[in-house]
A and B are shown apart, each in its own frame.
Chain A
């Protein structure tokens, strides 16, 4: 029968590996936006390739969560913790996919000049990256207040998205030739908005892990 000590060690390793996955996702979001900013097909290709590592980590972590539950039959707080980690790997994997989407869109846009200087989109990127970081910190420290503060930032992301949408709409109406580029940029903004939503999910899971209550933030 595995000891409490072994279980603690396994749980700690599981959490550290979740954090490693989180760091890779943060890198992916940052690099995908850097590729967009510099219109670098090379960097975009790297982000796309690197998503395989994120996907692999997701599967591995899910598997380990399942094993821990099966072999250790944890109770209460420990069970919540493992369940939280499981849910968070799914959100992280989705965030990684959205970063990959941004990279793919960048590749499609690389050969044309930018429709307009990027201002709101990088701002959205900064906010969601900060949200992810704070989510991971909140998880490490079991800090529910940090989690709630982080989730509140999603309002800013949504607000910026509406702004981007309206602005790109004007471009499209004024000049139908710009529709292709405007649509691509809109999809980038949408990907960032979804990343913000997934970060909010992470905040919800941290609160669940600590308090035992799962509630929707930002309804």
Chain B
């Protein structure tokens, strides 16, 4: 008899221990899950709100318990959702926006809790934060809209030129070749745009894998200067290189780094007046190497500085078009900088010039740069 009693006590003890474990496990789960959770009793009052819910809705659990959701969250659609769950005793799903304390988009589901005999015991609401997801969708939509807009202009030009030629200009010995030349120039412009777009897309999506290698800045810049020398000479722009000798190698995809620097030098030359100076310089800055491309050109007005790295952003659209710009150069530079683990900075004075500094990580000690492509 005593043995049976002891056995029973042992069993109850184990049962209680298991319950305590379950309770603390439950608490742990509720506190550490990333989704917001609300539990309402059958009268519609809040019985529990977890930390993510406190954060998302800007409410403290201590003040919320016992109150109705509308009293705590002041959210009409959320209130409608929980009322519908209680009224129809069915799961309700919805996408809601929260505007306080911060703007967030939530995927919300409310479920009724029913006892075995169908009595209504309360409501459970789970909300998933999909703000970032929606933001990405928006960025993508905006990009597509931007691209369509940008393609429309050169295509319209092409059509106008072709129509003019069709209309008879093709037979005109003077105008004919001239219009043909315009046609070819527009096609080149379009090709460049598409090429930049593909580049940007590849960099942004990470589908073009980056090589991790030590790159010699001096060698890269020498190649770039050689590429732009002809154009610079024609406009009496002096291309200078300073402080690159003896710079430690940079850690990152050499081709991408070259592309970024090339875009910066291209801009510097484009927006420099005749007789100006473009200087490429470098220095160590802690763990980073700072590469600066400075020009004595028209400069960038202060109110545009924070936006120039946006896709297709132009300070002066007509000038940019005349100079053959796609509006993507700086965007590409920014993405390359980020993917190399660095950043891009700009300083500019209208009428005096601009200076763009690309900061990239230096190669770990002991790794030397290999010879650049084609060497």
Do these two chains really belong together in a complex? Answer: yes
Q: Which residues of A contact B (CB under 8 A)?
A: 15-16, 19-20, 22-24, 26-27, 30, 133, 136-137, 140-141
Shortest CB distance B79–A (Å): 6
Q: Which 7 A-B pairs have the closest CB atoms?
A: A23-B76, A19-B70, A140-B71, A23-B74, A16-B70, A24-B76, A20-B70
A23 to B71: give the CA distance in the assembly, Å.
Answer: 10
B75 at the interface (CB under 8 A from A): yes
Further pairs besides A20-B76, A20-B79: 16, Cβ < 8 Å: A16-B68, A16-B70, A16-B71, A19-B70, A19-B71, A19-B74, A20-B70, A23-B75, A23-B76, A23-B79, A24-B76, A27-B76, A30-B99, A133-B100, A137-B74, A141-B63
Shortest CB distance A15–B (Å): 8
Shortest CB distance B74–A (Å): 5
Q: Which residues of B contact A (CB under 8 A)?
A: 63, 67-68, 70-72, 74-76, 79, 99-100
A72 to B100: give the CA distance in the assembly, Å.
Answer: 38
Chain A residue with Cβ nearest B70: A19
Shortest CB distance B242–A (Å): 40
* Secondary structure call for the A interface: helix
Contact present for B67 and A140 (CB under 8 Å) = yes
Contact present for B74 and A26 (CB under 8 Å) = yes
How many residue pairs link A and B with beta carbons under 8 A? The number is 28
Chain A residue with Cβ nearest B75: A23
Contact present for B99 and A22 (CB under 8 Å) = no
A93 to B72: give the CA distance in the assembly, Å.
Answer: 21
Contact residues in A for B63 (Cβ distance below 8 Å): 141
Shortest CB distance A33–B (Å): 11
Contact residues in B for A136 (Cβ distance below 8 Å): 74
Shortest CB distance B65–A (Å): 14
Contact residues in A for B68 (Cβ distance below 8 Å): 16
Contact present for A133 and B74 (CB under 8 Å) = yes
Contact residues in B for A137 (Cβ distance below 8 Å): 74
Question: What are 25 A-B pairs with beta-carbon distances under 8 A?
Answer: A15-B71, A16-B68, A16-B70, A16-B71, A19-B70, A19-B71, A20-B70, A20-B76, A22-B74, A23-B70, A23-B74, A23-B76, A23-B79, A24-B76, A26-B74, A27-B76, A30-B99, A133-B74, A133-B100, A136-B74, A137-B74, A140-B67, A140-B71, A140-B72, A141-B63
A140 to B165: give the CA distance in the assembly, Å.
Answer: 75
Contact residues in A for B67 (Cβ distance below 8 Å): 140
A111 to B112: give the CA distance in the assembly, Å.
Answer: 48
Chain A residue with Cβ nearest B80: A20
Shortest CB distance A84–B (Å): 16
Shortest CB distance B364–A (Å): 47
A33 to B100: give the CA distance in the assembly, Å.
Answer: 16
Contact residues in B for A140 (Cβ distance below 8 Å): 67, 71-72
Shortest CB distance B284–A (Å): 41
A198 to B228: give the CA distance in the assembly, Å.
Answer: 66
A27 to B79: give the CA distance in the assembly, Å.
Answer: 14
Contact residues in A for B100 (Cβ distance below 8 Å): 133
A66 to B99: give the CA distance in the assembly, Å.
Answer: 34
Contact residues in B for A22 (Cβ distance below 8 Å): 74
Contact residues in B for A24 (Cβ distance below 8 Å): 76
Contact residues in B for A133 (Cβ distance below 8 Å): 74, 100
A105 to B75: give the CA distance in the assembly, Å.
Answer: 26
Shortest CB distance A56–B (Å): 14
Shortest CB distance B63–A (Å): 8
A27 to B98: give the CA distance in the assembly, Å.
Answer: 10
